[in-house]
């Protein structure tokens, strides 16, 4: 089956989809994006993803390409045309096409909009049951990680380092030793007192949509949670470590570099949160309300 993409007003086979070489997404990574999980043919946390997209657009002063309702209609069409039951949709909005120059174009230009779909989502349950290894590397990204831009070279290099180390992810830390997040997911620990800890919102991290949902699930379950920085050393000696993300869900970490976390198996809190999140995903995508904006 040919994958169908939406590109600037047209639905067409993905192999035929093209962008202008003068699109500012190509020249400058002058674009923002979102990735949403599709489950049961419906999006997970759709409204929250659109809200974050709007914040990213506002932060870099790109006009919205259409209304939230219009964007939803296109996303839905991409899901239906590609017959995605479980997978992801990718939304990218660029500043548009203009002759190459660093400043914003003087004349008003139309934002570029690309939406694609993909079958399959996240690692298998067997991977989560065993837990994963991560590596720790310095965070070399820019200073506005809270904006979800397509300029991901720092993340790409970190993730490639993880692949070469046969690890699932790269845990990023600043010169002061504090962990920010991972290359494509938010990072969490359970400390010696049983308190769940994750980095607070700010320019150092991307405020994950899954992060917010998991925070709500944590509080509803009665666990203690604090949004504060933690160090790499605290992560290495934590009772539990885990990651959250759109395609990662809740992923237990059982090893950082050569060091094993606790007894080397996924902890009880992490396993419980993964179960709760999976139940949330199933429930939230079971009705038409999943597409609400």
65: domain CATH number is 3.30.470.10
Instruction: Tell me the pTM.
Output: 0.96
User: Does some domain include residue 292?
Assistant: no
> H-type helices in 60-188, by residue range?
68-82, 125-130, 153-164
What is the domain range of residue 18?
Answer: 4-119
Question: Residues 55, 154: one domain?
Answer: no
Question: Which residue is catalytic, options 118, 133, 148, 166?
Answer: 148
Question: Residues 83, 181: one domain?
Answer: no
pLDDT at 121: 86
User: Does some domain include residue 131?
Assistant: yes
Q: How many CB atoms lie within 10 A of CB 189?
A: 23
Q: Which residues is 94 bridged to in the sheet? A: 31, 112
Question: Residues 140, 232: one domain?
Answer: yes
- Sequence-distant (6+) residues with CB within 8 A of 177 are 231, 232, 233
Question: Residues 169, 95: one domain?
Answer: no
pLDDT at 1: 60
User: Does some domain include residue 293?
Assistant: no
Within 13 Å, how many C-alpha atoms sit on residue 188's CB side? Answer: 32
Q: Which of 95, 119, 143 is where one domain is finished?
A: 119
User: Does some domain include residue 88?
Assistant: yes
> Low-confidence residues of the chain, pLDDT below 50?
none
Question: Residues 112, 168: one domain?
Answer: no
Question: Residues 56, 172: one domain?
Answer: no
pLDDT at 123: 77
Q: Please tell me whether residue 37 adopts helix, strand or coil conformation.
A: strand
Q: Are 75 and 60 in contact (CB under 8 A)?
A: no
Question: Residues 162, 107: one domain?
Answer: no
CATH of the domain at 185: 3.20.10.10
Q: What are phi and psi of 177, to 5 degrees?
A: 90, -5
User: Does some domain include residue 288?
Assistant: no
pLDDT at 64: 98
Give ∠ CA 133-123-252 in degrees, rounded to 5: 40
pLDDT at 57: 99
For residue 271, give Cα distances in angstroms to 173, 220, 227: 25, 16, 20
- Tokens standing for residue 96: 């548009």
Q: Which of 72, 101, 119 is where one domain is finished?
A: 119
Question: Residues 105, 177: one domain?
Answer: no
Residue that is written with structure tokens 């998991």 in the block = 214
- Tokens standing for residue 69: 């309702």
User: Does some domain include residue 290?
Assistant: no
Active-site residue 148, yes or no? yes
Question: Residues 34, 178: one domain?
Answer: no
For residue 33, give Cα distances in angstroms to 10, 53, 91, 96, 278: 19, 7, 5, 14, 24
User: Does some domain include residue 289?
Assistant: no
Question: Residues 89, 208: one domain?
Answer: no
pLDDT at 54: 99
Question: Residues 131, 244: one domain?
Answer: yes
Query: What's the farthest any 2 CA atoms get from each other in the chain?
Result: 60
Within 13 Å, how many C-alpha atoms sit on residue 148's CB side? Answer: 23
CA distance 16 to 24: 20
Question: Residues 66, 159: one domain?
Answer: no
For residue 260, give Cα distances in angstroms to 32, 51, 152, 243, 265: 37, 38, 29, 16, 9
Q: Which of 84, 119, 154 is where one domain is finished?
A: 119
Q: Total domain count for the chain?
A: 2
User: Does some domain include residue 130?
Assistant: yes
């Amino acid at each position: 089956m040919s994958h169908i993409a939406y590109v600037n007003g047209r639905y067409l086979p993905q192999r035929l989809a093209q962008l202008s070489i003068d699109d500012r997404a190509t020249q400058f990574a002058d674009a923002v994006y979102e990735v949403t999980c599709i489950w049961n043919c419906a999006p997970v946390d759709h409204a929250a993803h659109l809200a974050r997209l709007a914040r990213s657009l506002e932060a870099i002063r790109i006009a919205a390409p259409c209304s939230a309702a219009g964007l939803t209609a296109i996303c839905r069409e991409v899901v239906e045309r590609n017959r995605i039951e479980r997978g992801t949709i990718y939304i990218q909005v660029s500043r548009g096409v203009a002759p190459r120059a660093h400043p914003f174009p003087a004349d008003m230009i139309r934002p570029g909009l690309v939406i694609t779909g993909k079958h399959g989502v996240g690692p298998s349950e067997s991977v989560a049951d065993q837990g994963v290894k991560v590596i720790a590397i310095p965070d070399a990204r820019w200073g506005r990680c809270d904006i979800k831009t397509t300029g991901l070279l720092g993340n790409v290099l970190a993730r490639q380092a993880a692949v070469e180390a046969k690890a699932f992810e790269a845990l990023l830390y600043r010169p002061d030793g504090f962990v920010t997040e991972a290359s494509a997911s938010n990072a969490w620990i359970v400390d010696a007192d049983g308190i769940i800890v994750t980095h607070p919102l700010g320019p150092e991290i991307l405020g994950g949509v899954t992060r917010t949902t998991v925070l709500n699930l944590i509080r509803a379950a009665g666990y203690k949670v604090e949004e504060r920085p933690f160090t790499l050393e605290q992560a290495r000696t934590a009772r539990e470590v885990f990651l959250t993300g759109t395609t990662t869900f809740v992923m237990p970490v059982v090893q950082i570099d050569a060091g094993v976390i606790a007894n080397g198996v996924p902890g009880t809190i992490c396993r419980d949160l993964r179960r709760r999140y999976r139940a949330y995903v199933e429930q939230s995508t079971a009705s038409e309300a999943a597409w609400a904006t």
